[in-house]
Structure 1
Amino acid sequence: MQTDWGFPDFDEHEGVHLFSDRETGLQAVIAVHSTKLGPAAGGVRFWHYADSAAAITDALRLSRGMSYKNAMAGLPMGGGKGVILADPARTKTPAMLEAFGRAVDSLGGRYVTAEDVGIAEADMIAIAKATRYVSGLPAEGEKVGGDPGPYTAKGIYLGLRAAAKRALGTDDMKGVRVAVQGLGSVGGRLAQMLAADGALLTVADVDAARAQRFVDQHGATLVAPDAILTSEVDIVSPNALGAILDATTIDALRCKAVAGGANNQLAAPEDGARLHDRGILYAPDYVINAGGIINVALEYLGQGDRAEVDARLAQIPERLVEVWDEADRTGDSHAAVADRIAQRRIGR
């Protein structure tokens, strides 16, 4: 008998582990989706959730996305994800992070952790005190590792240009209208690269001061966070949290392509078909945002240097074209085709 255990996003996960540490206040979930290609690699997210069920759902969705992301990136890694449940004040201590490291270590290498939303390099150092199954530690010189954000942003930038070429007929970003949702570690760097190319940017961020600083420094049209997805542009680039593309928002899109780094952009599987039905080119998130995991995976595996990372980032547009070409041949949505290719590579 198969069951989803009351969680529709349970997808034959190999394990879902719940951890508590009363002394440090740690409450965490580690979801291991697949280890068929190697240890389950994926960052740990520090976030305040409405309840524990929401945290488990996030871990399930994110870990499945990591399986697909690592498979599409050609990495010998499976997919997993950790989430640490933050209190409303976002209280985070080195002791709590070290306790999470012990949780990771208890899985014996089946899960390898790294940075995600709410986690910084200093936090990874604290986690590494309790486990060797960690990546994203500070790097020097040409060594790979460290903050995955710049590599994620660069991969998205390359993928967005590929989307522009496919949807608009040019990868020269000068004058191309791009709406960037989220100006954090990834979205901010992406927006800077696009601004340097002469793209016409519309931006939004929940941190109003951060958004205004970007506008002051780089020039852009600033809109409210709830208006960014409906901006009349060529490309919408979601770079905040996920589940922002649903029946309502997709119907309101006024763009030719969606290409951004947010994980799990589709609120439900059928939303990929909705984009397809509207004729909107979609760059599946786990294909375009693989730059960060490429960097930290090569660090963990001890393979290559920054030149190797850059060479692998350059393959992201090729993988997107593979998805789009198969979608054109089959008539299926870009999201469905990407899932199918990833599943073939995993052997599911």
Structure 2
Amino acid sequence: MEIFKEMAKEGHEQIIFFQEKKTGLKSIVAIHNTVLGPGLGGCRMWPYKTEEEALKDAMRLSKGMTYKSAIAGEDFGGAKTVIWGDPETDKSEGLFRVLGRYINGLGGRYSTGTDVGTTYDDFVILNKETPYVGALPKEYGGSGDSSIPTAYGVYNGIKACCKYKYGSDSLEGKTVAIQGLGKVGYKLAKHLLEEGCKVYGTDIKEEYLERARQLGVDIVKTDEIYDIDCDIFSPNALGAVINDNTIERLKCDIVAGAANNVLAEPRHGEMLHQKGILYAPDYVINGGGLIQVADELGNETYSEERVMRKCEGIYNQLLKIFKLAEEKDIPTHAAADHIVEERIETIATIHRIK
């Protein structure tokens, strides 16, 4: 990869590589845009096949965080950490403390928290070396489990999709196929079942499947989730699941879930648009976790009530995006991008006034 060329193309300000021999840490922090405020974004730990794959993931995810913060109306920029390693075997106290030292060295330019492959316990350790951590457990003075507002935001977003697509936001009798039954997917399934949905689900972890099965989710094989005849396909695991191979298999009216970077490429949003499938832009509908961390870091006192009210606002934000997309006859992800870029340009102009 031509890193500087790719940074210029995607608008990144800074990419930092960290390594430490004793602990085996290999990590990348990508800071995308800090016009709105300091970078904010979780830390993902994953056994990437190559350095380039890890770098691409960090860059893609950090840009998504810029857009997620902007669309949510928060005054934070976008950034992300990836750790190149297996979360099942490579974690240690030393690894997260070293990473905490490195992040602390950025002087508040970036704050982090949990993501795929990391847990709240990891960041209790990291917090020993830096205060720039969000969504710590409540017993450690943090705001707690960020998957709660994330799932609630996705639930409200799905209701908005149904309101736009069907004329009513009632979910009773709707069929939803959930890909990923982890921290967010499981809580989302609870919301949907409580409102009378028929829910199918899948995951790669057997313990997640068993927990969801007991909840009342009909479990299907991992690859079969794309073929379910449903109203809503809800991706809640890793990204790039809407691609050339899967779009033709989808039998749904709506794609709406908590996964980041759901579209493998922007053109896949255009393909959904052409097929008449309503897409809730991922960084809009899954913004609940960011809203929580932004409230924790951006205010003297954290307010759960304030956070959940903002998550309910995802409903109206999506309806605004859908209306703009209809007026301009453009895909919904392009309409969301337009709103984000307009806000960033406006704030940049304001910041130039001395």
Which 5+ residue runs of structure 2 have no aligned equivalent? 349-354
Partner residue of 1:305? 303
* 1:99 lines up with 2:85 in the alignment: no
Q: 1:285 to 1:324 in 2, by over 3 A?
A: same
Which whole-Å deviations, capped at 9, do the CAs of 1:103-145 have from their partners, x for residues lacking one?
A: 111211111111111211111111111111111112259x861
Determine helix, strand or coil for the equivalent of 2:10. coil
Q: In 2, Cα distance between the equivalents of 1:90 and 1:77?
A: 33
Q: In 2, Cα distance between the equivalents of 1:308 and 1:221?
A: 34
Q: 1:72 to 1:223 in 2, by over 3 A?
A: same
* 1:219 lines up with 2:226 in the alignment: no
Q: In 1, Cα distance between the equivalents of 2:85 and 2:7?
A: 24
Partner residue of 1:267? 264
Q: In 1, Cα distance between the equivalents of 2:320 and 2:17?
A: 38
Seq. identity, %: 41
Q: Mean alpha-carbon deviation: is it higher for 303-312 or for 206-215?
A: 206-215
The Cα shift of 1:15 comes to 0.3
The Cα shift of 1:208 comes to 3.3
The Cα shift of 1:300 comes to 1.1
Q: Mean alpha-carbon deviation: is it higher for 42-51 or for 296-305?
A: 296-305
Which whole-Å deviations, capped at 9, do the CAs of 1:143-197 have from their partners, x for residues lacking one?
A: 8612211111111111111112212222221210000110000001101111111
Which whole-Å deviations, capped at 9, do the CAs of 1:310-340 have from their partners, x for residues lacking one?
A: 1111111111111100000000000111111
Q: In 2, Cα distance between the equivalents of 1:332 and 1:228?
A: 28
Residue identity in the other structure for 2:253: K
Partner residue of 2:352? none
Which 5+ residue runs of structure 1 have no aligned equivalent? none
Which whole-Å deviations, capped at 9, do the CAs of 1:296-315 have from their partners, x for residues lacking one?
A: 11111225411111111111
Aligned-residue CA RMSD (Å)? 1.8
| 1:115–1:147 CA contact under 8 A, matched in 2 | no
1:236 equivalent among 211, 233, 236:
233
Partner residue of 1:290? 287
Map 1:71-110; keep pairs closer than 5 Å. 71-87=70-86, 90-110=89-109
Q: Mean alpha-carbon deviation: is it higher for 98-107 or for 327-336?
A: 98-107
1:175 equivalent among 139, 158, 173:
173
Map 1:180-259; keep pairs closer than 5 Å. 180-215=178-213, 217-259=214-256
Determine helix, strand or coil for the equivalent of 1:252. coil
Q: In 1, Cα distance between the equivalents of 2:246 and 2:146?
A: 29
Q: 1:140 to 1:131 in 2, by over 3 A?
A: closer
Q: TM-score, normalised by structure 2?
A: 0.93
The Cα shift of 1:230 comes to 2.0
Determine helix, strand or coil for the equivalent of 1:237. strand
Q: TM-score, normalised by structure 1?
A: 0.94
| 1:247–1:274 CA contact under 8 A, matched in 2 | no
Residue identity in the other structure for 1:151: P
Partner residue of 1:150? 148
Q: How many residues align?
A: 344
> Which 4+ stretches in 1 moved above 3 angstroms?
3-10, 87-90
Q: 1:54 to 1:9 in 2, by over 3 A?
A: farther
